[in-house]
Amino acid sequence: MDKGGILSAVHYILTLLVFSTACKPLPEERHFMPGADPARGLKAIERAGCGACHTIPGLSWPRGRIAPELGGIAEQNLIAGTLPNRPNVLAAYVRNAPALISGSVMPAMPVTEDEARDIASYLYSLPAR
């Protein structure tokens, strides 16, 4: 095999490798949130006390019952029955619900924008109910 042949073989293998990784299922295409970390999201959920109203899978305490349970929100089409379920909308809703739905009982929560994104990514990571 000549030099060019070896190079093209290497090229072929590399291309194959690149595509083989791309063949893995994409991480939650619909709710892809670059930079957001579900584990940090759960910590933020604990700090803000979301569990006082919501039962959230993965949070053993508290398991509030005055607001909807949040498992399987990734499969839901609408947030609070009104808003389109998109990552940036959910993050904005988590942080300041009354700004998106006036008269919302869910109040603005003491979390930063980044924390709200982390929380949204955690909620999207929850399996369907």
Question: What is the nearest approach in angstroms of another protein to the Cβ of residue 124?
Answer: 9
Given the rule CB under 8 A, which of 11-19, 85-93, 103-111, 112-120 is the region that contacts another protein?
103-111
Question: What would you measure as the largest C-alpha separation in the chain, in angstroms?
Answer: 74
Q: Does 65 bind another protein (CB under 8 A)?
A: yes
Q: Is 68 in the site for another protein (CB under 8 A)?
A: no
Q: Which of 95, 91, 92 is nearest to 121 (CA)?
A: 91
Name the minimum Å distance from CB 90 to another protein: 16
- Quote the CA–CA distance of 120 and 113 in Å, as a whole number: 11
The DSSP element (H or E) to which 56 belongs, if any, is: none
Sequence letter at residue 57: P
Helix (H, G, I), strand (E, B) or coil at 84: strand
Q: Which of 79, 90, 106, 123 binds another protein (CB under 8 A)?
A: 106
Cβ count within 10 A of residue 116: 23
Residues in contact with another protein, shown as a per-residue x/- string from 36 to 55 under the rule CB under 8 A: --xx------xxxxxxxx--
Task: Provide the binding-site residues for another protein, judged by CB under 8 A.
Answer: 27-28, 38-39, 46-53, 57-67, 103, 105-110, 122, 125-127
